[in-house]
Amino acid sequence: MHSLSVGHRRAMHTGILKRTNRRFLETEIAAECNHLLWNYKLNLTTDPKFESVAVEVCKSTISEVKECAAEELGKGYLVSCLVDHRGNISDYQCNQYITKMTTIVFSDYRLICGFMDKCREDINALRCGSISTGEKDVHSQGEVIACLEKGLVREAEEQPGAHPIKDECKKSIMRVAELSSDDFHLDRYLYFSCREDRERFCDKTLAGEGRVYKCLFNHKFEDSMAERCREALTTRQKLIAQDYKVSYSLAKACKSDLRKYHCSGDSNMPRAREARLSYLLLCLESAVHRGRVVIGECQGEMMDYRRMLMEDFSLSPEIVLHCRSEIEDHCSGLHRKRRTLHCLMRVGRGDAGAIDPNCQRALQTLIQEADPGSDYRIDRALNEACESVIQTACKHIRSGDPMILSCLMEHLYTEKMVEDCEHRLLELQYFIARDWKLDPVLYSKCQGDAARLCHAHRWNETSEVMPPGAVFSCLYRHAYRSVEQGRRLSRDCKVEVHRILHQRALDVKLDPELQRQCMIDLGKWCSDKTEAGQELECLQDHLEDLVPGCRDVVGNLTELESEDIQIEALLMQACEPVIQTFCHEVADNQINTGDLMECLVQNKHQKEMNEKCSVGVTHFQLIQIKDFRFSYKFKTACKEDVLKLCPNIKKKVDVVICLSTTVRNDTLQDAKEQRVSIKCRKQLRVEEVEMSEDIRLEPELYDSCKQDINRLCQNVAFGNAQVIECLKENKRHMTQRCHQRIFKLQEVEMVDPELDYQLMRVCKHMIRRFCSESEGKNVLQCLKQNKNSELMDPKCKQMITKRQITQNTDYRLNPVLRKACKADIPKFCQPVLNKATADSELEGQVIACLKLKYADQRLSPDCEAQIQVILQESALDYRLDPQLQIQCTQEISRLCSEEAAAQEQTGQVEECLKVNLLKIKQEGCKKEVLNMLKESKADIFVDPVLHTACALDIKHQCAAIPPGRGRQMSCLMEALQDKRVRLQPECKKRLQDRLEMWSYAAKVAPAEGFSDLAMQVMTSPSKNYILTVIGGGVAVLFVMGLLCGRFTRRVTQQLKDR
């Protein structure tokens, strides 16, 4: 009974003290009473009799808690120990007793066992208040601890003038904070500072288990929260950052997981480091990323504190220490808006000046600790900015899923993206891009590959050998390896690597290596390129001017794009209509090995093609010409051929020329075996055709003709070979340098018409209709043969005529004629060849020479056949006769303007010139018309008007006579002189006109040779008389020859007899 009465009295006394403590909150107790109460409380915690009650009430508990069982009795340590371990007390009576004692102890720091002894010097040094027993203000007891806590924070942040607190006192301060973590009433300073805010924001939140703390943390940045309370909450959060046990809810929820994943048992690590919130988060996040199970309650607590770190930069001592100047210069006034960290990220991106490397590292570390990549909601600024975009563009993805960030990146620079979201997203992605582990999906799919191929360590470990930024570079190098090249990535990892590459292509700052190597070049060449994607395009445009390190990075990235152009997300967005219509099959491939870009190039001029896509595709083509490696399919098909036949050549256009020249030479020399492989020849043809589409894709030609393009074709768009066509049409007005280049180009195109982009484009359907079975080199010949078909498309017919005009300017542009007349040209036209240059037209002089020899019937059969075709075609269209067009331009305008305007191509202009021969004033033109008359004698097909008029008579009178060599013309002349034959009136009239013309021609243009004379005689109206005279003369010569022969034979015999 006596012991019970003692226990009853002790219980009564503790109850009185609790009520007295509550009274402190409402009014101030008299100084004498206050002093008496304090001494009583102090004696209470050290009184052996009071301690004996604890021994009696908590008997079973003491035996369970080894630390308390070992305490020496009589010094008050036992009660303090039980207070420390009150969370482990299961006995109800003991728990109640210790809870009451806790209230008493925490009302005054001096009652906490050993605290005063351990922190006396630091309290004095920091001027945290008096520790005399005569202290009047009971509230200052909590303020002393609060002052020590702030000193601890200042020391951690290395603030100027910070006092180094002794380790023993540090432990005591953190222990007090830890012991007060479950009930905010026990943190006296915070309790007094936040009483009103607790009622305002958390009145329905039950005290205990840290719930009130968490509620107040969530409202810390409310405008209506008292500044004193906000400061007290921030101090407590900073203590939690130093030791996670200061958060009751976090320590309790994650206790088993911390033990399970060895997050608190590393003997090699200092206790202070091991206890830090950042270490706990990194350790448990590593377990989650490795696919381990962390209980939901713990993950929820982790998410709360990760969000806390993202919202308040001041909770990270490294940020406060290393980013002080950046915050002052760029981010002041943003703390209350929870935007300071994103402001620092923007500075870190280089969008607002330079950043200290230590600050950059601190930011990178904080992003890893908070790990917003795993759940965008952790980043409140990003969440608020992007909420509307997520609701529209990413609503199909579960809230909190890591793929939300990827979805937002896919919609970057689209109409669904809003500006604020774009900025916040790029600020965060800048840091995620610098550590492959911060993209949880990439890490999940690639951690095995990274360990196997790149020597990567676990999620929360670092390596000097393979830093985080280098791991992704290693992964993407293996992603594009062929089977022959060795070890490759797993399929799932490869997909994720492509996803990241697509995202990085949106902004050069998302590619760490590119930004690091190209910082100087970006400033030098691309400072004015501010639009999305422009900086990379600018670097590619200046590839030759970049410093070696930057050139290598840009070159490797461009080479990568050539294999998978889908990396160019902006280009893919612009080209979506074309891809869906024409290229959807190749676009569906994960790696399209260059097929998609090839498809886009082939369909660059479809109506579905928009300007942005066309410009993007053309730009990539222009970049490809800088290095043959930038054309993946070409590189793959021709790599061995280039090494063997074109070593040390890097530019794609030079490689193409080298290989195509080799192919052409092997073909012309009828080599037994082509030196260029079949697969390379096929791809070479694709490259040659693509280059012919835009003059800019042939740099030497473009540079030679740039001045002429600006002068003659300034309003002509590039692409579709339109500029090249414009230059061809204006070649007489071009500079010599450009003229020479265009001539060389036309010479190649005529040998290989498939390289004539305009011809192949305009006549695409006609080629399919008429020439589907013809070889590529014979396409133009086939089209010429079908030019006058009723089924021929007018535009194609016009294009064929253009090419015929070009061919007739120089025999070298007509490979069929050149081959057929190989022996005739040097035999009959050497004077013309002597005046020729290697790279300019002869303006039809060689062909004109061959025409005259055709009229003389002196050409070889093959050459005669080709000249006959040319004569027939040019007789219908005067434009096909270059010399006639040059010499008679003015006369045609003066005498035959109506016929020329009709453009009927029926020989009416030529007929007009013949009829008006006597009116022609210019000698050069008159000579050409006379040559035309002379040529028409040799073959009636050369005179289309006469042939049309006499077609019926040829059929009746000359059916058995084969055409050519003037045979049908002679037949008609004989019929004209034969009075028994009745010719058609139109034919008879035209023949009589021709006789008059030939008669006049014979007078003004005497025969140049025997054959010419013979032809004039045969076609003369006085043919019989002339032949009789000539025959008589020949007979006289024959007789004289016989006589002279007998005489010389007799003289010779006499000489022999001597």
DSSP one-letter string for 485-543: G-----HHHHHHHHHHHHHHTT-GGG-HHHHHHHHHHHHHH-TT--STTHHHHHHHHTG
Instruction: Tell me what pLDDT residue 407 has.
Output: 94
Read off the pLDDT band of 290 (50, 70, 90): confident
Read off the pLDDT band of 804 (50, 70, 90): very high
Q: Find all residues with CB under 8 Å of 437, minimum gap 6, and list them.
A: 289, 368, 443, 459, 468
Element (H, E) at 23: helix 2-26
DSSP one-letter string for 1017-1053: HHTSTTHHHHHHHHHHHHHHHHHHHHHHHHHHHHHHH
CA atoms within 13 A on the CB side of 438: 22
Nearest to residue 852, comparing CAs of 944, 938, 949, 945?
Answer: 938
Average of per-residue pLDDT across 736-750: 92
* pLDDT(23) > 80: no
Tokens of 756: 């004539």
- Could you give the CA distance from residue 997 to residue 991 in angstroms, rounded to a whole number? 10
Nearest to residue 346, comparing CAs of 308, 398, 391, 382?
Answer: 382
Read off the pLDDT band of 837 (50, 70, 90): confident
Instruction: Tell me what pLDDT residue 294 has.
Output: 94
Tokens of 53: 């009650």
Average of per-residue pLDDT across 660-669: 86
Read off the pLDDT band of 1017 (50, 70, 90): low
Cβ neighbour number for residue 918 with a 10 Å cutoff? 9
Lowest-pLDDT range, 340-349, 620-629, 902-911? 902-911
- Length in residues, the chain: 1058
Lowest-pLDDT range, 10-19, 28-37, 551-560, 625-634? 10-19
Read off the pLDDT band of 295 (50, 70, 90): very high
825 three-class SS: helix
pLDDT digits (tens, 9 = 90+) for 50-107: 677 778 888 888 777 777 777 777 666 677 677 767 777 778 888 887 777 776 655 6
Read off the pLDDT band of 712 (50, 70, 90): very high
* pLDDT(853) > 50: yes
Nearest to residue 988, comparing CAs of 999, 978, 998, 1001?
Answer: 978
DSSP one-letter string for 320-334: HHHSHHHHHHH-TT-
Read off the pLDDT band of 543 (50, 70, 90): very high
Instruction: Tell me what pLDDT residue 166 has.
Output: 92
Instruction: Tell me what pLDDT residue 1044 has.
Output: 65
Q: Find all residues with CB under 8 Å of 158, minimum gap 6, and list them.
A: 317, 321
* pLDDT(1008) > 70: no
Using CA atoms, how far residue 106 sits from 5, 114, 115, 603, 928, in Å, is: 27, 13, 11, 80, 122
- Could you give the CA distance from residue 371 to residue 391 in angstroms, rounded to a whole number? 23
280 three-class SS: helix
Instruction: Tell me what pLDDT residue 896 has.
Output: 92
Nearest to residue 251, comparing CAs of 369, 87, 461, 79?
Answer: 87
* pLDDT(836) > 60: yes
Instruction: Tell me what pLDDT residue 568 has.
Output: 84
CB 513 within 8 A of CB 469: yes
pLDDT digits (tens, 9 = 90+) for 958-971: 888 887 777 888 89
Nearest to residue 132, comparing CAs of 16, 232, 35?
Answer: 35
Tokens of 909: 């202009």
Instruction: Tell me what pLDDT residue 860 has.
Output: 92
- Could you give the CA distance from residue 839 to residue 833 in angstroms, rounded to a whole number? 13
DSSP one-letter string for 37-49: HHHHHHHHHH-HH
Cβ neighbour number for residue 350 with a 10 Å cutoff? 14
Lowest-pLDDT range, 263-267, 433-437, 637-641, 677-681? 263-267
- Could you give the CA distance from residue 28 to residue 135 in angstroms, rounded to a whole number? 13
Q: Give me the percent of the chain exceeding a pLDDT of 90.
A: 39
Using CA atoms, how far residue 578 sits from 575, 584, 609, 722, in Å, is: 5, 9, 6, 22
Nearest to residue 849, comparing CAs of 833, 862, 860, 873?
Answer: 833
What's CA 711's distance to the chain center, in Å? 34
Q: Find all residues with CB under 8 Å of 352, minimum gap 6, and list them.
A: 330, 343, 346
Rg of the chain over Cα atoms, rounded to whole angstroms, equals 50
- Could you give the CA distance from residue 246 to residue 1030 in angstroms, rounded to a whole number? 134
* pLDDT(702) > 90: yes
What does the buried/exposed string (b/e) look like for 521-530 if buried means 16 or more CB atoms within 10 Å of the residue's CB?
bbeebbeebe
- Could you give the CA distance from residue 344 to residue 313 in angstroms, rounded to a whole number? 9
Q: 401 φ, ψ to 5°?
A: -70, 140
* pLDDT(589) > 80: no
CB 924 within 8 A of CB 891: no
Average of per-residue pLDDT across 583-590: 75
Instruction: Tell me what pLDDT residue 4 has.
Output: 38
Tokens of 204: 């329905």
What's CA 938's distance to the chain center, in Å? 65
pLDDT digits (tens, 9 = 90+) for 191-207: 889 999 999 999 999 98
| Residue given tokens 């046990």 in the structure block | 245
- Could you give the CA distance from residue 358 to residue 321 in angstroms, rounded to a whole number? 9
Cβ neighbour number for residue 548 with a 10 Å cutoff? 8
Tokens of 319: 């940020």
Instruction: Tell me what pLDDT residue 137 has.
Output: 42
* pLDDT(977) > 60: yes
- Could you give the CA distance from residue 606 to residue 609 in angstroms, rounded to a whole number? 5
* pLDDT(947) > 70: yes
Q: Give me the percent of the chain exceeding a pLDDT of 70.
A: 84
* pLDDT(714) > 60: yes
Instruction: Tell me what pLDDT residue 721 has.
Output: 92
Phi-psi region of 117 (alpha: psi -120 to 50; beta: other; left: phi over 0): alpha
Considering only residues 448 and 588, tell me which one the structure prediction assigns the higher pLDDT: 448
Instruction: Tell me what pLDDT residue 165 has.
Output: 93
Read off the pLDDT band of 187 (50, 70, 90): confident
Average of per-residue pLDDT across 537-544: 91
| Residue given tokens 């030497």 in the structure block | 700
* pLDDT(659) > 90: yes
pLDDT digits (tens, 9 = 90+) for 391-433: 999 999 999 999 999 999 989 888 999 999 999 999 999 999 9
CB 144 within 8 A of CB 115: no
| Residue given tokens 């070696």 in the structure block | 548
Read off the pLDDT band of 234 (50, 70, 90): very high
**Amino acid identity of 378?**
I
Instruction: Tell me what pLDDT residue 402 has.
Output: 92
Read off the pLDDT band of 863 (50, 70, 90): very high
pLDDT digits (tens, 9 = 90+) for 471-519: 888 888 888 766 556 667 888 998 899 889 888 888 888 888 888 899 8
| Residue given tokens 């045979």 in the structure block | 967
Instruction: Tell me what pLDDT residue 95 has.
Output: 81
CA atoms within 13 A on the CB side of 154: 14
- Could you give the CA distance from residue 675 to residue 427 in angstroms, rounded to a whole number? 54
- Could you give the CA distance from residue 436 to residue 500 in angstroms, rounded to a whole number? 10
